[in-house]
Amino acid sequence: MRIRIALITVALVLAWPGSAFASSADARPLTATSILAGRAALDGTMVAFEGEAIGEMLHTSDDSVWLSVLSDGTALGVYLPEQLAEQIAMFGDYDTTGDTVRVAGEFRRACDEHGGDMDVHAVSLEVIAPGADREHPVEFWKLGLAAVAFGVAAAGTFYSRRRRLVVEGG
Amino acid sequence: MWVTRTHSDVRAIAHYTGVLVVGIGLLMVLPLVTAAVLGEWAVAADYLAGLGVALAAGVLLMLAAPPGTRLSHSNALLVTGLAWLAATLVAAVPLALSGNYANFLDAAFDAMSGLTTSGLTVAQDLDHMSLAHNMWRHLTHLIGGQGIVVAALSFAIGLRGGAVSLYQAEGRDERIMPNVMHGARFIWFVTAVWVTLGTFALSTLNIVRGMSLVRGSLHAFFATVATFDTGGFGPMSQNALYYHSPVFEFITLVLMLAGTLNFNLHADLWRGDLREIMSNIEARALAINMGLLSLAVALGLTATQLFGTPGEVLRKGVYHIVSANTGTGHQTLYAPQWATDVGGLAFAAVVLAMAFGGMASSTAGGIKALRVGVIVKGIIQRVRVSLAPPSAVIRTRYHHITDQTLTDELLSGALLVFVLYVVTYISGGLIGAAYGYPAAQAIFESVSATANVGLSTGITSPAMPTGLKIVYMIQMWAGRLEFITLFAVIASAGLAFRRRKTRSL
């Protein structure tokens, strides 16, 4: 209960126009890599960071979801209410670059609620750039390499059979 | 006396290495089909090229000698050693073409890591890697975990001569079934049962949690294979942490324990005989080892006050001890946390768990519980001898499949491998430290590579020095083959080089 009250308070503070936190977060959002590097100092504090939503939303037994946000090469788990996450349209994978999101919430170096996982309990999420499809054109030189290699393998097999026939015949 | 290889020996070795390379190549059909089904056409081209290169290299090597050439025991040892290197080079081809690796060496690093079921990775942008490439990475665990030679034997692709020698040279010195081929097939049968059960359980969990049918099922298969084969790769950069699920961790914990079980014990379990597992020295040694190290990690984590709750001790302590002890390497911590967040005692416990390893004749690496048990029995015997009257005859007996008496030969064999592992752990650690990494982290990474575990403090990365990548690759190779096979390859190469040099003088 106390955690919920704290989160609501934090949300109100964040939403307050011109609040000190909002202005500092607007000025210089962190990356997941910098949060990981500064985990001891940031533990239990409010952080804001930007990154690509990857994989998918993973539902939990309550009405919350887990979201992975990739920024600066590090993916960080974000725990948030499902309604907040619903605005994400695209998640990053081989075919897709996911939406870029800006997440604000409490950073927990070892979350007691989640078995010691390092996570961010988000109080706000904003899609700041839409995702896009990733193009993967077929590189035809690879097909050429395959053709040459299959040719060598076929020639080798043919030679081997012929040699065996000669040995058996002679 | 050193036996040098004749031309016909070299030809036989090349022929059988070629057979195994062709086998590895044919397995690339699976990721090729995956890519085609998922419409990943650019990736399909990678596997078409990889398959072609493997078949060409394999067929050319096979031309060295006619089919059916006999293979002596010592030549079988060399084939096994070289097969792992050749398989690594061939398996790396499609990975190198994927665009997820900086160069061929990095792709070969992951291929060696996959085949030896280590799980250390230098892949880039793993979160955007195609499912077909992930299929191949995880299949390398399956191929390597069951053993390349076992795989070839199972599918009977032409290893007629010297099958027993090949089987033993791959670090499987115990016969599960009277017939080697039956033994190889039993290993695949056990694997198929566990992989089916694990994939079904994890697929259900993933789909219930919102993953699509395809991604959920493939992730489940990847996690199952990586866990049962004690590999440790994952399709996401966060590894097991991506799922944030105690249920996922419980299922993988069961799979890790199943994966580290000696295939002989699997055979007993299959027959419904629990007596063997209760009395087996290896099972007892592993249980005591895991119990003590879990206690140590619990005390260590509690002392940090960062991971003090029972849930945290279980999910961050016991999970990682089992992951380390079984040689799996799944982790739910970020790599840099090992050095700073878990505390000294928990860090040391995880290093010891990795170093000791799982059971012999399983997919696990490390010194192995059987050897640890034999060495402890040997120490107890020496103490008993020192306390007994000079005329007393002290015999120590233990149970492993059958009742056995501890002999000096058994003890010295266990000690020899123990010493080789420890020397390699320390040597790799010193090399890592020489590259400028903190000593404790360098030792952690070295033990992880040699014992084929895959836990990482963050040293293993694409930015790691090239020399260190090669050192870890050699450590993974040596650890998987338990040294002697690799030494045989090196000695034979050295002898051949010396003979050529002598001739040219």
* Domain-wise residue ranges, chain A: 2-133, 137-170
Alpha carbons B332 and A116: distance in angstroms, whole number: 9
Q: Which residues of B touch A41 (CB under 8 A)?
A: none
What is the C-alpha separation between B492 and B474, in angstroms, rounded?
17
User: What pLDDT, on the 0 to 100 scale, is given for residue B492?
Assistant: 75
* Distance of residue A8 Cα from the nearest chain B Cα, in angstroms: 24
Q: Which residue has the tokens 């078949």?
A: B55
Q: Does B218 touch chain A (CB under 8 A)?
A: no
Residue A15: per-residue pLDDT: 45
Question: Whole-angstrom Cα distance, residue A78 to residue A106?
Answer: 10
DSSP state of B5: P
User: How many Cα atoms sit within 13 Å of B114 on the Cβ side?
Assistant: 32
Nearest CB to B56 within list A56, A57, A153: A153
How many residues can be counted in chain A? 170
CA distance B498 to chain A (A): 32
Please list the ranges in chain B whose pLDDT falls under 50: 156-158
Residue B180 parent element (H or E): helix B180-208
- Helix axis angle, B73-97 to B7-27, nearest 10°: 40
Judge contact between A160 and B59, C-beta under 8 A. yes
Mean pLDDT for each consecutive 10-residue tract of chain A (170 residues)? 50 44 54 96 96 97 95 96 96 98 97 96 97 96 97 95 77
Report which of B260, B257, B240 is spatially closest to residue B249, judged by C-alpha positions.
B240
Q: How many contacts (CB atoms, under 8 Å) link A and B? A: 156
Give the model's pLDDT for residue B497.
67
Report whether B137 contacts B110 (CB < 8 A). yes
CA B475 – CA B468 distance, rounded (Å): 10
Interstrand relation of A100-108 and A46-59 (parallel, antiparallel or unpaired): antiparallel
State the ipTM, two decimals. Answer: 0.87
Q: Are B229 and B255 a contacting pair, CB within 8 Å?
A: no
Interface of B with A in 155-194 (CB under 8 A): none
Q: Residue with structure tokens 């950069």?
A: B237
Token pair 């952080």 is found at A47
Instruction: Output the CA angle B154-B155-B156, nearest 5 degrees.
Output: 90
Would you list the domain boundaries of chain B? Answer: 1-173
Residue B445, judged by CB atoms within 10 A of its CB (0-12, 13-18, 19+), counts as buried
Averaged pLDDT score across all residues of chain B: 90
- Cβ atoms within 10 Å of B197's Cβ, excluding its own: 16
Nearest to B348 by CA among B296, B423, B410, B407: B296
Is A153 at the interface with chain B, CB within 8 A? yes
Distance CA B369, CA B325 (A): 9
Residue B100 in tokens: 């997820």
CATH architecture group of domain A2-133: Beta Barrel (2.40)
What is the DSSP annotation of B354-391? HHH---TTSS--SS-HHHHHHHHHHHHHHHHHHHS-TT
- Yes or no, beta carbons of A153 and B236 under 8 Å apart: no
Answer yes or no: do B210 and A59 touch at CB < 8 A: yes
The two beta strands, B402-405 and B397-400, are antiparallel
Interface contact B102, partner A, CB < 8 A = no
Q: Which residues of B touch A159 (CB under 8 A)?
A: 63
Assess A6–B contact: CB distance below 8 Å, yes or no: no
Q: Chain B partners of A164 at a C-beta cutoff of 8 Å? A: 66-67
Closest CA to B170 of B278, B20, B348, B42: B20
Which residues 483-502 of B are in CB contact (within 8 Å) with A? none
Q: Are B450 and B418 in contact (CB under 8 A)?
A: no
**Cα of B39 to nearest chain A Cα, Å:** 10
Summarize pLDDT for B315-351 with one digit per residue, the tens: 999 999 999 999 999 999 999 999 999 999 999 999 9
Contacts with A57 from chain B: Cβ below 8 Å: 210
